[in-house]
Amino acid sequence: MPYTETPGSRVPIRMWADPHTVEDAAMGQLQRVTMLPWVHGVAVMPDVHYGKGATVGSVIAMRDAVCPAAVGVDIGCGMTAVRSTLTAQDLPDDLRRLRSELERAIPVGQRAHNRPVDPGRVYGLRTSGWDEFWREFDRLAPTVQSRRERAARQIGTLGGGNHFLEVCVDDEGAVWVVLHSGSRNIGKELAEYHIARAQRLPHNKDLPDRDLAVFVADTPEMVDYRRDLFWAQDYARRNRDVMMGLACEVVRRQFPGVRFPQWISCHHNYVAEETYGDTDVLVTRKGAIRAGRGDVGIIPGSMATGTYIVRGVGNEASFNSASHGAGRRMSRSKARKTFTEADLVAQTQGVECRTDAGVVDEIPAAYKDLSQVMDAQRDLVEVVAHLRQVVCVKG
């Protein structure tokens, strides 16, 4: 669908969602962010919904400033997908053993590895840059300096909530491994530290929403935030790389000779330096992927609605962005009150996954219709492949 612009804003809010279907709380967040004098433009993806601090599914372009709450606390959260040489016919009818082995190899929830994973021993992992990466840890904010050992043991771990690790089959029968995770607790601590620091700055005193506190260019606070932000984004990417390597090793043990010829990765909670026209901006994508012309991205749905591999068409009206998933249509607490374990069993038929009370808030019905979300952004991305999960690991 073509975008619509909401009236009454200081800068345009271009929406790839029907404004009448967006909850009032999210619309209020979007309107307030346009009041910031540094904002160059806002694009809203079809998976938009209310989020803590800033709207999920929003793309905010700022000149000479950045809002840490608009990135979210899971800095660098994103997706990785790997296509294998296996086909659906290679998979056994009973996939419980495969799920069990994946859960054994990849700590979930708040768990971590007993000792840091050696990148040199992980299948298919690039080993360059790790020493420099960890040396940079010593330059991070003082608040996390005691967290190095835990951060090292959480590399290669999934986390909880909407994070997942899946085995999927595409429409042509190829088997994929797909995962969704971010910067774990170290990213959260860095985000919370910098959000609180921004809120104490004098230029943020009279903002319409204290969650919209920003750092401005050419200040020590901005320098510190950018250093920690980009390190956390790198941490998130490395975390997914290690996890994917461990997961592929599980698959290799069960299916000797399998190869993994295609590896795709993308952030969807992050900041990037970009230029539109003659304007340099910092683009914050919270719940959005980059979809510049030719960019390959990943858009998941829920525990039973699969994932799309997409290629960006380069629509600059959206700041070269697209949705990061289906997006929630109800809160976790409402989902737990609305649905039962029996509902979850019924809605995940055909998927080897958890169906206990601990993941009822991730039930597919708590999410928007993924096909409608994809239809609303046909001018942002083209579909490369559609995957259906057969195994889903949740934290």
Catalytically active residues, by annotation: 324
Say how far apart CA 251 and CA 83 lie, in whole Å: 12
Using an 8 Å Cβ cutoff, are 364 and 347 in contact? Answer: yes
The secondary structure element, H or E, covering residue 242 is: helix 220-254
- Kindly list the distances between the CA atom of residue 107 and the CA atoms of 124, 165, 359, in Å, as whole numbers in the listed order: 19, 11, 16
Of 79, 112, 74, 56, nearest to 229 by C-alpha is: 74
Alpha-helical regions (H) of 90-219: 96-105, 130-137, 148-154, 184-199
Query: Based on C-alpha coordinates, what's the Rg of the chain?
Result: 20
301 Cβ contact list (under 8 Å, min separation 6): 307, 325, 326, 364, 367, 370
104-124 CB burial, b ≥16 within 10 A, e <16? ebbbbeeebbeebbebeebee
Residue 219: strand pairing partners: none
